[in-house]
Structure 1
Amino acid sequence: MEKPNVLWISTHDINPDLGCYAGVWPGAESSITPNLDRLANEGARFDQAFAAAPVCAPARSAIMTGCYPTAIGTMHMRTRAVPPPEVRLLPEYFRQAGYYCTNNWYTDFQVDVPNTVYDDCSPTAHWRNRPDAAAPFFAAFQGMSTHESQLHLDDEAFAKATLNVKAEQRHRPEDAPLPPYYPDTEVFRMAWSRYLDLITEMDHWVGGILDQLDEDGLTENTIVVFWSDHGRGLPRAKRWATEAGLREPLIVRWPGKIAPGTVITDVVQTLDLAPAMLDACGLPIPGHMQGVSFLSSTGGIIRETNQYAFGGRDRMDEAEDTSRTVRDARFRYIRHFHPDRAALPHTSYPDQLATWIELRNLAKQEASQMGRGEPRTLFTDLQRTLVASSKPEEEMYDIAADPHETRNLASNPEFETTVTRMRAALRDWQEHYGDLGLMNEDALIETWRPGGKRQVTARPTITETPQGFEATCETPGASIGWTTVEPGVPGRSLAMLERLGGSPADDGRSWQLYTGPVEPHGGPLWFRAWRLGFEPSPDVQAGVHSEPPTDGSRSIR
């Protein structure tokens, strides 16, 4: 049976603000997204999909490992975690199964990505580059057009960033469907209209990738998945453990397995994507993965896999805070472990963004009103919670009735039973998986890197056998790569975002994932081992004999 291909198309910083979510997510009816709407019509639209964190690197780590960030130490924005040894990045499992694996090009998984994970991780990576056109592929395209930074470009730069948005598709600031927790100002209206234009630009990019799949005759045997890492890049969404911070668009098209126009209202988590992809392709799901598959190689979508979705907010750059949240099909419960800390903490990067500046300026003006003995008039009570110096210890919202989370029910006697249930679900989740976000971060880093030194992966041991060169590594959790390319070949210099996100180092050598004995190639071979969070091992060169051993083996280190 032919293995299905997997095509991931992801974007940054959006909620389900796509036309196909009109009537499901407030404001989605304003979006112009014909390509994604078509994709949803041809497959399944997931109406209640949730990220594990409201910021990119922790959220992406969950997607790529199938594990909660708080369980493996990837919850702070940013960090270089050392996950437990059993944890690996998803594409490596596909590569081990014979898939050609590519990523174009963003990573940002909270770890330095080993060279064993992808066949190609670069701005030119594409399934079209696979040496064997018959080989199955796992190809990821990571779009940047909707990242929050794009909302605040100058007019000329924004016009260049949205070249494919037609004049009649442009969104007018005066028509922006602002949620009630934003002040109705020119700054917020402009940000919202630009947000929608960027989504239209992103949709055009998605359409181009889908067209290429059609051109190559691969549509019928390819699982296409569209997702965003977390919520929109505006206050009370990105960096907040709220509905807008964690609610995601998720669309899956799988011809012959998922009926066109399918709508799934079950709770799913984006960390479920890792086990779901493996399951769909008939590959084993590692026992350590904490996500639950919602796809099956035999029956398409698996229903009702989760009662709850869990998430959290931790350190955001220099702003230290801890919040945890749980969502069922109707309610969201949030627990703030530092209720005395500001809802809008001073954080260098977002403090430079126009929306954050606007909130601080309005708060200052309201303080001046009070200083004159006048009532405050620039915020509503709800909007004022964004700039408050503290926050409630507990929050709970009925999302079905109150999608913008305007009425906190945590102390409402009518909902006491629900609050108790949700509080217990969150506590049980933390106890079951552990919560490294509650640990002192300096102490956590010391456990990872004693004395501040990165641990080094052990050199692989190479054994020459009649079947070829066999490789092992004594470091638990290590992956081994091999290459025929000698050291010293010039590689590509990584861009700043690639270095920041931990993209694989380009040393000019093509590394193959070791999966079994490597036959001699008529020249030397080099082996290297990688363990997530460790320095890679030194290379070990394996020589070539005129005749392989017939009565025993020879080990090389």
Structure 2
Amino acid sequence: MFRHLALLCLLATSAVAADRPNILWLTSEDNGPQYGCYGDSYATTPNIDALAAKGIRFKRCWSNAPVCAPARTCLISGRWAPADGAEHMRSAVALPEGHQMYPQLLRSAGYYCSNNSKEDYNLDKPKAGKKDLVWDESSGKAHWQNRPASQPFFAVFNNTITHESQIRRRPHTLIHDPAKAPLPPFHPDTPEVRHDWAQYYDNITLMDTKLGQHLAELEKAGLAEDTIIMHYGDHGPGMPRFKRWPYNSGLQVGLIMHFPEKWKHLAPKGYAPGGVNEELVSFVDLTATLLSIAGVKPPDYFQGRAVCGEFAKPAPEFIHGFRGRMDERYDLVRSTTDGRYVYIRHYMPQLPYGQFLNYMFQQATTRVWKAKFDEGHLPELQTRFWKTKPAEELYDLESDPWETINLAGSTAHAEIKSRLAQGQRQWLEQVRDLGFIPEGERLAQADKKSPKDVFSTDEAYPVKAVLDAAALATEPSQATPESLAKLLDHPNASVRYWGVQGYLIQGDKTIRTNAPKLEQMLGDNSPSVRIAAAEALISVAESPAVLERSTRALLKCADMETQPYFVAIEAVNVLDRWQSRLKPWQPQIQALPAQAPEKVEKRLKEYIARLHDHLLTGDKVKETGGN
């Protein structure tokens, strides 16, 4: 009897699945919409252009993050990665209770799901022992051809030839003429920069060739008319001030969808061959869209909307992007666009855009750009990347596509800025963005549980109060010593942290006004608060005794043998930033453990070592693995 019921269930699932389209995702890495079909005359992309000519091209698609692992995390979860505490490059946090990754939902609906082959998520994959519960197959051999006969498939083929690391691959014979490379105005015009940009476009052409092979394979198998195809890159170009930066230039990707005649009823509204869609779309929407065209209702915990298919929803007024820790360096940026204007809020404006990042400095463009800045040989526009940031930026993509003229202080644009800033704040509250809890603090409290679950209540994470504190800390007209002092007595550690950050951001005069209270914060029960207080006091260095107390507090937090790993990373970042002021303590700093404990996840281990290398050797580059 049970075997009979099982057979009936299998037949029912097969019948439903047979009425569903195949779906093919052809993805690439570290490339924006530098394609012929997007108007780039320097690009050579015949296959992508042909796909766009018979499908639809999305004009305003953002990756939610300007770097791979957080961007891919938004895709696999259908959620804003900071809402799960998974925004940092890289992280390894638990999936929220009751949540599934999208292939699990597709497999439950009868799809065969294959991934060839990049994963690199910041969320731990669900497993049963060693069995992968997410994909039917995820490897370099994964292919839709491996599915059982007649089963519908969802397949991902990810091309890595466009990755940042491939721009610096040598030897390389250029295909594109570097003399004709379209350089952004903020990059210096040097042979190294021109070579890197030409090689970037070469790699896109190679990716385009591979994409054409996948399409030909599908055609040869007789499946082209049964398969919906999507192509997109995972974020903007793998060049400095593009990758890792949540400007439009770092977040915009080309998104092309093709629906064969049989499945056009599932296509976006107004679909026509060669058409252009101007709706706002971001990666949290792509996952809901995938399920919708497969006939699967997106779960309520998804934070995007289906662009098309059975469960399509209207386009939003705004889409959003984020930047958190990039490998070994901390930052916190949120960005929002309405399609024309881009609003960026910096919550650590005291840090330069171009902090030394070992991986980024392996590229010739980064090194020559920084060298020319150090020599004082650059015009003002090209110096900005190496300096500290304003609290707010606003750009008009219509008149300023390279995002170089900051309109945040323009009275003529005040209403526009206010509208985007309010839209951003509403989004951060709605999704309960956990990025405003210091990483060391967040992981220590979560332990091995999902940060989203641990901080799901206002008692655990008073999100409005924390966001108010972070906003106050970065607003010079409001961040008075008196207003910041009130934050230092708050019962929530994250509010206290932003209070201390406010003193640091506002600088010497504000710190000196309340130095005794900041000294008290060196004994706070939160290590992140202690670290921030130590940095603020070191930055003014008024008294040898206070400097010693602050440095000793930092050294204690930087010791991985007694402190959590990411607490140590926070502390060593501060030691590195102020090493010129801390020369008397160099023996103690160099004696700190520099090798991560065995329990630290493999991909994260090199971060502390990179920081210690920089403490010892300055901006000398150490070759590392992919990123």
Question: What is the 5 A alignment of 1:251-270?
Answer: 251-256=256-261, 257=264, 258-270=271-283
Structure 1 residues 146-545: aligned runs within 5 Å: 146-155=162-171, 158=172, 170-256=175-261, 257=264, 258-297=271-310, 304-366=314-376, 378-388=377-387, 390-449=388-447, 500=603
Corresponding residue of 2:9: none
Matches within 5 A, 1:51-90: 51-90=63-102
Native 8 Å contact 1:73 1:83 kept in 2:
no
Structure 1 residue 352, shift from structure 2 partner: 2.1
SS in 2 for 1:241: coil
- Letter of the 2:157 counterpart: F
Secondary structure in structure 2 of the residue aligned to 1:47? strand
Amino acid at match of 1:440: P
CA distance in 2, matches of 1:360, 1:123: 38
The answer as to 2:40 corresponding to 1:41 is no
Instruction: Output the CA distance in 2 between the equivalents of 1:383 and 1:223.
Output: 43
1:4 is matched with 21
Larger relative contact order, structure 1 or 2 (CA cutoff 8 Å, min sep 6): 1
> CA separation in 1, counterparts of 2:191 and 2:71?
31
For the residues of structure 1 that align with 2:144 and 2:283, how far apart are their CA atoms?
A: 23
Q: Is the 8 A contact 1:183 1:383 kept in 2?
A: yes
Give the helix-richer structure, 1 or 2. 2
Does the 8 Å contact 1:48/1:329 carry over to 2?
A: yes
Greater than 4 Å deviation, 4+ residue runs: 498-501
* Alignment partner, residue 136 of structure 1: 152
- Once the 2 structures are TM-superposed, how far is the Cα of residue 265 of structure 1 from its aligned partner? 1.0
Amino acid at match of 2:242: A
Would the alpha carbon gap of residues 217 and 440 (structure 1) be closer, same or farther in structure 2, given more than 3 Å must change? same
Q: Is the 1:108–1:500 contact (alpha carbons within 8 Å) kept by the matching residues of 2?
A: no
**Distance (Å, rounded) in 1 between the aligned partners of 2:38 and 2:340:** 17
Tell me: CA distance 1:261–1:232, structure 2 relative to 1, closer, same or farther (3 Å). Answer: same
Which of 108, 116, 123 lines up with 1:111 in the alignment?
Answer: 123
* Residue deviations 1:494-526 (CA, integer Å, cap 9, x gap): xxxx9859xxxxxxxxxxxxxxxxxxxxxxxxx
Query: Which structure features the higher share of strand residues?
Result: 1
User: RMSD in angstroms over aligned alpha carbons?
Assistant: 2.0
3-state SS of the aligned residue for 1:260?
coil
Residues 133, 499 of structure 1: CA spacing in aligned structure 2 closer, same or farther, 3 A cutoff? farther
| Residue type at the aligned position of 1:381 | E
| Cα separation, partners in 2 of 1:212 and 1:331, compared to 1, 3 Å | same
SS of the residue aligned with 1:101?
strand
In structure 1, what residue type is equivalent to 2:351?
Answer: R
The CA distance in 2 between the partners of 1:450 and 1:500, in whole Å, is: 17
Aligned to 1:126: 143
Amino acid at match of 1:333: Y
Task: Give the partner amino acid of 1:118.
Answer: W
Aligned residues: 425
Give, in angstroms, the shift of residue 304 of structure 1: 4.7
Deviation of the 1:318 alpha carbon: 1.2
Q: Is the 8 A contact 1:62 1:68 kept in 2?
A: yes
Deviation of the 1:221 alpha carbon: 1.4
Residue 328 of structure 1 aligns with an amino acid whose one-letter code is D
| Alpha-carbon distance, 1:255 to partner | 1.1
Q: Secondary structure at the match of 2:99?
A: coil
* Contact 1:359–1:387 (CA under 8 A) maintained in structure 2: no
Amino acid at match of 1:146: T
Instruction: Specify the SS of the correspondent of 1:29.
Output: coil
SS at match of 1:329: coil
Matches within 5 A, 1:18-33: 18-22=35-39, 28-33=40-45
Any idea what the Cα deviations from partners look like across 1:218-264, whole Å, max 9, x if unmatched?
11111111011111011111011111110111001111214311210
Deviations, residues 33-58 of structure 1 (Å, cap 9, x unaligned): 01010111111100100011110000
SS in 2 for 1:397: strand
Return 5+ residue gaps in structure 2 as ranges: 1-17, 127-131, 265-270, 454-600, 605-627
1:449, distance to aligned residue in structure 2 (A):
2.0
Does the 8 A contact of 2:281 with 2:319 survive in 1? yes
Give the partner amino acid of 1:294: V
SS of match in other structure, 2:254:
strand
Match of 1:316, as an amino acid?
A: M
Find the counterpart in structure 2 of residue 527 from structure 1: none
